[in-house]
Amino acid sequence: MKSFIEVNPESHFPIQNLPYGVFSTEGNKTLRVGTAIGNYVLDLSILEKEGFFKNILGNVPNVFERPSLNDFMSLGSEIWSEVRRKLQLVLSADEPQLRDNRSLRIKALIPQNEVKLHLPVKIGDYTDFYASKEHATNVGIMFRGKENALMPNWTHLPVGYHGRASSVVLSGTKVRRPLGQTKPKNADAPIFGPCRQLDFELEMGFLIGSGNKLGEPISVEQAERHIFGMVLVNDWSARDIQAWEYQPLGPFLAKNFATSISPWVVPLEALNPFRVEGPVQDPQPLEYLRQQGANSFNINLEVYLKGENQSTSKQISSSNFRSLYWSGAQMIAHHTIGGCDLNSGDLLGTGTISGSTKESRGSLLELTWRGTEPVNFGEDEQREWLEDGDEVTMTGWCQGNGYRVGFGEVTGTIVPAHDLEEILQQQAVVYNNK
């Protein structure tokens, strides 16, 4: 499949991909939906006005002239597939409808360096899972020892917790070092102050397209029909805050200050050529979680780190999505089996993705083995934990025959915590005014 638009073989956005995003331009501040093709963004709101989707979207007006993808996502998998087929036809090398219409091309195809990308989805709920066996094992060894690395329930169900949707931010948003309680080793009482063990977590996220009704579970066989697409996720983590607060209810302030996602949502259909079987599950899950066949994807994942005074980023981790023990379908089936309703725009994170080698670990917690083995990444720089000014970049792609289906990047830079004395003074002023 070839497009009339020239696309570099290493580009993440060939005609085989066509991810969706929300953008604006300097000349048109209206947020609207587009798809990435090579170095361009195709404005779908213009194609919609020109009648390209008339026989597909029917009576749903201006679905691409919206500030989020939610309305389109809620239309269901059959509509998504039809729109995708139409876009691939319109952009193909042999189709003259857009290729030979110069005035329409000028209006509808915008260079990517001229657009501003926005959060693609209005996220109502966010659930984060713990789906990597290697990651769970590494963390378990650190905190409980090798004999008790995995909790007894881990191989029987996809463990997860409900996160904070309001702090899911777009790639490029600066991440402020959080404040919280920590309890230093051998201290009698906790202290309050900036996090000193700030970490990244290499994850991916499933975005729910069409949801389910309250009380009506989604079967594992039907679950993928409810997934609109996938994004890269960096679920930032304050390890020292988490170590003190997580018992008995799990993550709270340590995880709710920021979760970064990539701007382009890759349709699940674009990933079908890269399906692979996931790890063998032993023991066999209970019947409602049993799956057969290729339920995972061959997605290469990389993490890069750049210090404030460094000129270039250095790769510090390389892994693959296919190593995840629990699949997206199993996460959805378990999430809804008790009757929970999922809605259009909900985000389900995989949890940290780690492989079996040291180089494939997806967090500094593992790469440095809880700070005892610093990571060296060039120009005389090493890290136990993230420092102010550090920039973390994650990327991922599937390698085809002469093309890539990629996710772009998710990037974030750490900025210093708020000044504690200043915060206390502001609080005192507010209190005294009351």
Are the beta carbons of 336 and 379 closer than 8 angstroms? no
Look at residue 193 and give its three-state secondary structure.
strand
| Cα distance between residue 351 and residue 233, in whole Å | 9
Whether the link from the prior residue into 283 is cis, omega within 30° of 0, is: yes
Name the DSSP letter for residue 322.
G
pLDDT at 308: 95
pLDDT at 417: 97
| Cα distance between residue 140 and residue 156, in whole Å | 16
Are the beta carbons of 140 and 149 closer than 8 angstroms? yes
- Tokens for 243, please give them: 């170590």
Give the CA angle between residues 199, 344, 42 to the nearest 5°. Answer: 85
What value does the CA radius of gyration of the chain take, rounded to a whole number of Å? 22
Q: Which CATH number fits domain 20-118: 2.70.70.10, 2.30.30.230, 2.40.50.140, 1.10.1660.10?
A: 2.30.30.230
| Cα distance between residue 17 and residue 268, in whole Å | 10
- Tokens for 191, please give them: 């202290």
| Cα distance between residue 374 and residue 368, in whole Å | 5
| Cα distance between residue 48 and residue 52, in whole Å | 6
- Tokens for 98, please give them: 């857009």
- Tokens for 81, please give them: 């597939």
Q: What is the mean pLDDT of each run of 10 residues along the chain (434 residues)?
A: 97 98 98 98 98 91 96 97 98 98 98 98 98 98 94 97 97 98 94 97 98 98 98 98 93 97 98 97 98 96 96 96 98 98 98 97 98 90 97 98 98 95 76 73
- Tokens for 89, please give them: 């036809």
- Residue 2 gets the label, from left (phi > 0), alpha (psi -120 to 50) or beta, of beta
Look at residue 30 and give its three-state secondary structure.
coil
CATH topology identical between 20-118 and 126-421 = no
pLDDT at 424: 77
Neighbour tally for 27: CB within 10 Å: 7
Domain boundaries defined on the chain: 20-118, 126-421
- Please give the class, per CATH, of domain 126-421: alpha beta
Are the beta carbons of 45 and 67 closer than 8 angstroms? no
Are the beta carbons of 77 and 225 closer than 8 angstroms? yes
| Cα distance between residue 212 and residue 336, in whole Å | 8
User: Which run of H or of E encompasses 205?
Assistant: strand 202-208
- Tokens for 226, please give them: 């409810």
| Cα distance between residue 277 and residue 298, in whole Å | 9
Torsion of CA 130, 133, 139, 142, to 10 degrees: 160
Q: How far is CA 401 from the centre of its chain?
A: 25
Are the beta carbons of 264 and 231 closer than 8 angstroms? yes
pLDDT at 61: 87
Are the beta carbons of 56 and 105 closer than 8 angstroms? no
- Residues serving a catalytic function are 135
Are the beta carbons of 92 and 3 closer than 8 angstroms? yes
pLDDT at 394: 99
Strand 168-170 and strand 259-261: the pairing is parallel
Look at residue 160 and give its three-state secondary structure.
strand
- Tokens for 342, please give them: 């999922």
